[in-house]
Amino acid sequence: MNAQDLKNSILQLAVQGKLVEQRAEEGTARELLEQIKLEKDQLIKDKKIKKSKPLPEITEEEIPYEIPESWEWVRLGNIIILQSGQDLQPAFYNSEEKGIPYLTGASNIEDGNIIINRWTESPKAIANQGDLLLTCKGTVGKTTLLNLSEVHIARQIMGIRTLGASILYIKLFVESQITYLKSKAKSMIPGIERNNVLNLCIPVPPLEEQHRIVAKIEEILPYIDQYDKAYTKLETFNKKFPEDMEKSILQMAMQGKLVEQRPEEGTADELYEQIVAEKAQLIKDGKIKKEKPLPEITEDEIPFEIPSSWKWVRFQEVCAVLTCGYASTPEYVAENIGMPFISAKNIKPYKFMPDDHKYIKRELYDKLTQTCCPKKNDILLTRVGAGIGEAAIIDIDMEFAIYVSLTLIKLVDYKQLDNRYILYWLNSPIGTDNARKNIFGKGASQGNLNVNNVRTFLVPLPPLEEQKRIVAKVDELLPYCDQLIK
């Protein structure tokens, strides 16, 4: 339950007579309503207000809950004077503080305070000090008690004047009915209609009990504010915790702290030599091209310590292919004559989502896939857009080409390297930090991740069997993060 729900629950208790006790010595609401009727009749007799049409009797179906015997159900319009606002032409208001304040709408009410920027010497729709102001058009439902002697109100505001009931009690009740009043509006534009306000069924306690209800609410409100702050902190924590937990799991995995090291599994140096030999053979056989030498890894580059059986390597050293997709916007064709063309929108962390894609001519597809041919078990890395650095494994057999928004990653040997370990590395804090630090252009959402920089990323490389155990442990733990999100 958030703070607003808690406040609504307390208000509901208040208007049901369950927040404070009833006291016989305080009389009954019927006595109060008789006094209000006498006052209203006198105002009509003195021509201070006009006689209005009688409001309909309250039916049994309209009564939503039981109230104490000393209370009465009544139409709100029977215990208030409702002042509708009236707009003024520019010629009749000014900014020189001449006349009385002119309030035009919700912009004049901020956190219960009145903000004045216009005045008028020709007031017609006047609200007086102590009236309840309610915004009824535009930003609907703002309320405040007027603390100025008088103001002119425009059509976006209503003024509610009590005839004997506590205006603070009426304020509490009206605030609890805002959602209902909005729902009753017949206009396409959200608003609060005059007749709906007048016809509200309000439970009226004796006057002294109204005062005690208001006092109790004012006593409770600071605690609701404290609850709101605590609830907001908790909600923020709950939203961040699954993400932070996932990051922590992946960070521990990349630091060699998630599973134990086992001497019988060998070392990453031994694995590295096998990868280098395999890559050299691929180059010799003409299956991949020889790359430019990569810079030596310096001490300053190493972000954290890893186990002695591990090894820091450049990403390119474990990749057979690391290249981006087609750099031009192709001519798109119909599905029945084209080949799938995949872009960054088809990649989310860990998820290859090829369903929503475009199609290119077969001739262009054949040309592109000579040098950049994605296959099952390869990895795609986003290099543009809001999701820069997100990676997923191609987990289905599918023929397609890729746009320049993606980088294709083929590992040297999938028998020597676990592609899911590399995937977890790319999506881990070290992987995403690498991506974020190497964005070129107009910021994270509009820049791009240069493929040459991706080649130099540092990978903490464990022995192969340990890679597999790390993947198994991460697979075991990450679902708990998903459960926390749900």
**What token pair was written down for 431?**
């992987």
Query: Where does the pLDDT of residue 278 fall: very low under 50, low under 70, confident under 90, or very high at 90 and above?
Result: very high
For residue range 38-87, what is the model confidence (pLDDT) as tens digits? 999 999 999 888 888 999 999 999 999 999 999 999 999 999 999 999 99
Average pLDDT over residues 82-93: 95
320 by Cβ neighbours in 10 Å (0-12 / 13-18 / 19+) ranks as: buried
CB 150 within 8 A of CB 123: yes
pTM, two decimal places:
0.60
Average pLDDT, the chain: 92
9-18, 66-75, 227-236, 350-359 — which is least confidently predicted?
227-236
Q: Is the dihedral of CA 18, 20, 21, 22 positive or negative?
A: negative
CA 267 to chain centre: 46
pLDDT at 122: 94
Alpha-carbon span 314 to 454, nearest angstrom: 9
Backbone φ, ψ for residue 166 (5° rounding): -70, 125
Domain ranges of the chain: 3-227, 262-467
Q: Is the dihedral of CA 155, 157, 158, 161 positive or negative?
A: negative
- Say yes or no to pLDDT of 486 above 80: no
Closest CA to 135 of 187, 181, 203: 181
3-227 shares its CATH topology with 262-467 = yes
Average pLDDT over residues 236-258: 87
DSSP bridge pairs for 74: 202
**What token pair was written down for 123?**
């007031």
Query: Where does the pLDDT of residue 376 fall: very low under 50, low under 70, confident under 90, or very high at 90 and above?
Result: very high
Residue 65's CB: how many other CB atoms inside 10 A?
A: 10
Backbone φ, ψ for residue 162 (5° rounding): -80, 150
The domain 262-467 is placed in CATH, from the list 3.20.20.70, 3.30.70.100, 2.10.70.10, 3.90.220.20, at 3.90.220.20
Alpha-carbon span 175 to 3, nearest angstrom: 15
Rg (Cα) of the chain, in Å, rounded? 36
Alpha-carbon span 151 to 130, nearest angstrom: 11
160-174, 205-219, 224-238, 242-256 — which is least confidently predicted?
224-238
Query: Where does the pLDDT of residue 484 fall: very low under 50, low under 70, confident under 90, or very high at 90 and above?
Result: low
The label of the residue with tokens 């909005």 reads 182
Backbone φ, ψ for residue 295 (5° rounding): -65, 150
pLDDT at 311: 96
pLDDT at 255: 96
pLDDT at 1: 79
Alpha-carbon span 461 to 310, nearest angstrom: 5
- Say yes or no to pLDDT of 386 above 80: no
Average pLDDT over residues 393-416: 94
Alpha-carbon span 131 to 106, nearest angstrom: 16
Backbone φ, ψ for residue 82 (5° rounding): -105, 115
Angle subtended at Cα 45 by Cα 39 and Cα 51, rounded to the nearest 5 degrees = 85
CB 341 within 8 A of CB 315: no
Which residues touch 404 (CB under 8 Å, ≥6 apart)?
324, 325, 326, 327, 328, 383, 384
Question: Dihedral angle at the C-alpha atoms of 253, 257, 259, 265, nearest 10 degrees?
Answer: 90
pLDDT at 249: 93
Where residue 83 falls (left for φ over 0; alpha for ψ -120 to 50; beta otherwise) is beta
Alpha-carbon span 70 to 82, nearest angstrom: 26
Alpha-carbon span 7 to 435, nearest angstrom: 45
**CATH annotation of 3-227:** 3.90.220.20
Average pLDDT over residues 202-215: 97
**What token pair was written down for 169?**
């009690």
Average pLDDT over residues 302-311: 95
pLDDT at 330: 92
Query: Where does the pLDDT of residue 239 fall: very low under 50, low under 70, confident under 90, or very high at 90 and above?
Result: confident
Residue 426's CB: how many other CB atoms inside 10 A?
A: 26
